[in-house]
Amino acid sequence: MADGIQAQVVIAGGGPVGMVLACELAGYGVATVVVEAESAVSRRPKATTLHARTVQCLVRRGFLGGLSRSGGEAGRATSPFHFAGIAGLGISAPAAEPEPVLKRTQEELERHFEERARAAGALIVRGHRVTEVWQGPDGVRVRADGPDGPVTCSAQYLVGADGARSVVREQAGFDSRTYPATVSALAGDVLLEEEGALEQGWCRTPRGWVVAKHLPGGGTRLRTLNCAAAHGARHRPPTLHELRDEVSRIVGRDVPMRAPTWLSRFSDFARLARSYRRGRVLLAGDAAHVHFPIGGQGLSTGLLDAVDLGWKLAFAVRGRAGEGLLDSYDRERRPAGQRVIDHTRAQLALMRPTPELDPLRALFGELLGGEGEGGVLASMVSAQDTVLPKRAADASPWEGRFLHNVALTTRQGRTDVIDLLVPGRPLLLLLGASGDRAYAGQARGWAGLLRVVHAEPAAGLPCEALLVRPDGYIAWAAGGGALDAALTAYFGAGGTTTARGAGGDVLAPALS
């Protein structure tokens, strides 16, 4: 590998978050390099859950082709889930959306996103670990050490997607708020010596929790939770003997096991960066936030970071970002990271196996089955309750909300919101003749950037016009101030030059 790689954006970390970000940036024509320490995709068990809002955003960007099922025609689809180990939570989404909980291994997702990133033109440098970061007024430099020596990369921006022990976060000087560990937890894949020694599912005793999942081929995936205290040496690798003793202690009988294929230790230590941006360095995924892994929200939260940041950073690099657009990444995603930390800590509080909490757990069991109460918790876990900050006090009530998939009749025929957003261009949706007359002229200066679609009024869309971001959130709606002011805030002053962007579509005046 030659020294001195030149790029526009360097991404440290080639997990699913880094690869989705690379898909987005490269798709917009941004010269992108991903530096990943592992020489190949890790086969260790990690996350297996993508929640509804993450799936919805990724589908709108065209990144889940072949992995996600299409929605139905009416009603709501529901997937069973849990809250704090209590069964009964149903995660729902409108039937026109993909399934609300997508079960795919992290390994499968990472391979899929890497293939798409490479196809879009991103350079993936595996087997190189970032060791040093320099930032100047005009760009960044990164040193990465590999088997044949160091490699340096220079770029306009650096994104740290390099995990909980992020070198980028530490070297770039990001400050964080931390929550110390209070519990000890173990995980591993083993063979149980006695068939049927553990039932599949969540088991709580007065001494803690054991979660067992039987695997194809006869193995069992185990997780334990000891709420007595944090482990004294939580970074020390666990042993099979330790896992066996912990499982046996919690269930109250000896559970022999052998042949571990992997073992891991974790806790409820949590961290949130106080800012997701320092100059030309940004953070995403576990580099920005870590939390207790209950509810399968870590990967989903990180991928939503990538989807939010990707199009904004691409527009900034190519000179089509309004003032403050890149800073809006922190304003939108850091509160989301804090919210996940807060409610995973709340779930852990419910999981502490003290009898005093039994009435509270019973109450939550009843709430999970309720239409309103259970829906609130399901929307929180699946991030479907996310409403983005409004630009101004006179903004439309629609602004900041997610635009769910709606069937539309346009001049070109029948389509829907998802299909209109896949090319990656901001969407100006004009509904009916009044919308055409009132707003088409205001948007003329951004004609090379916007995808302008004239459609018949549709049920569920009582506005004359909507400006929709590439990630599916509404940036502006009729009745919320002038359209050209919103376009300027997002994309800078209007122009007349056009050029090519994601997927070869005309995208933005400065994109090529």
CATH number of the CATH domain containing 303: 3.50.50.60
Q: For residue 481, give the 3-state DSSP assignment.
A: coil
Measured distance CA(229)–CA(40) in Å, rounded:
36
Measured distance CA(226)–CA(242) in Å, rounded:
13
* Residue 496: count of CB within 10 angstroms of its CB: 10
Residues 411-417: what's their mean pLDDT?
A: 93
Question: Is 378 contained in some domain?
Answer: no
Count how many residues are written for the chain. 512
In this structure, what CATH number is given to the domain that contains residue 431?
A: 3.40.30.120
DSSP 237-269: PP-HHHHHHHHHHHHTS---EEEEEEEEEE---
**Which of 266, 290, 321 lies at the terminal end of a domain, its last residue?**
266
Nearest-5° Cα angle at 191, 190 to 194: 135
Confidence of residue 368 (pLDDT cuts 50, 70, 90): confident
Question: Is 124 contained in some domain?
Answer: yes
Q: At what angle do helices 298-317 and 328-351 cross, to 10 degrees?
A: 180
In this structure, what CATH number is given to the domain that contains residue 240?
A: 3.30.70.2450
Q: Which residue from 226, 280, 285, 224 is spatially nearest to 255, judged by alpha carbons?
A: 224
- Alpha helices (H) along 440-512: 483-491
Q: Are residues 60 and 174 in the same domain?
A: yes
Provide the token pair at 346.
């709340």
- Distances in Å between the Cα of 436 and the Cα atoms of 390, 428, 432 are 24, 11, 7
Q: Are residues 29 and 130 in the same domain?
A: yes
307-344 per-residue burial string, b: 16 or more CB within 10 A, e: under 16: bbbbbbbbbbbbebbbeebbebbbebbbebbebbbebb
Provide the token pair at 3.
């020294």
Sign of the Cα pseudo-torsion (18, 19, 23, 29, in order): positive
Tokens 């859950």 sit at which residue?
49
Domain assignment of residue 236, given as a range:
184-266
Q: Are residues 321 and 196 in the same domain?
A: no
Measured distance CA(189)–CA(240) in Å, rounded:
10
Q: Are residues 282 and 335 in the same domain?
A: yes
Question: Is 416 contained in some domain?
Answer: yes
Question: Is 72 contained in some domain?
Answer: no
- The pLDDT assigned to 23 comes to 98
- Distances in Å between the Cα of 493 and the Cα atoms of 477, 508, 509 are 19, 12, 10
Q: Are residues 301 and 206 in the same domain?
A: no
Run of H or E including 91: strand 86-94
Question: Is 19 contained in some domain?
Answer: yes
| 499 touches 508 (CB < 8 A) | yes
Question: Is 52 contained in some domain?
Answer: yes
- The pLDDT assigned to 363 comes to 92
**Which of 251, 266, 281 lies at the terminal end of a domain, its last residue?**
266
pLDDT digits (tens, 9 = 90+) for 196-250: 899 999 999 999 999 999 999 899 999 999 999 999 887 889 999 999 999 999 9
Is residue 180 scored above 80 in pLDDT? Answer: yes
Is residue 173 scored above 90 in pLDDT? Answer: yes
Q: Are residues 22 and 142 in the same domain?
A: yes
**Which of 307, 324, 343 lies at the terminal end of a domain, its last residue?**
343
Q: Are residues 169 and 277 in the same domain?
A: yes
Q: Are residues 107 and 248 in the same domain?
A: no
- The pLDDT assigned to 371 comes to 62
Percent of the chain with pLDDT over 90: 79
Number of domains comprising the chain: 3
Question: Is 89 contained in some domain?
Answer: no
Tell which wins on pLDDT, 84 or 461: 84
Measured distance CA(314)–CA(156) in Å, rounded:
11
* Residue 457: count of CB within 10 angstroms of its CB: 15
* Residue 165: count of CB within 10 angstroms of its CB: 11
pLDDT digits (tens, 9 = 90+) for 469-495: 999 999 999 988 899 999 999 999 876
Q: Are residues 116 and 144 in the same domain?
A: yes
Question: HEC string of 330-342?
Answer: HHHHHHHHHHHHH
Is residue 38 scored above 90 in pLDDT? Answer: yes
Q: For residue 43, give the 3-state DSSP assignment.
A: coil
pTM here is: 0.94
Q: Are residues 246 and 281 in the same domain?
A: no
Q: Are residues 416 and 474 in the same domain?
A: yes
pLDDT digits (tens, 9 = 90+) for 272-302: 999 999 999 999 999 999 999 998 899 999 9
Q: Are residues 276 and 260 in the same domain?
A: no
| pLDDT, the chain, mean | 91
Q: How far is CA 498 from the centre of its chain?
A: 31
pLDDT digits (tens, 9 = 90+) for 351-365: 999 999 999 999 998
Confidence of residue 71 (pLDDT cuts 50, 70, 90): low
Question: Is 492 contained in some domain?
Answer: yes
Residues 372-395: what's their mean pLDDT?
A: 88
Is residue 63 scored above 70 in pLDDT? Answer: yes
Q: Where does residue 200 rank: exposed (0-12), middle (13-18), buried (19+ CB within 10 A)? A: exposed
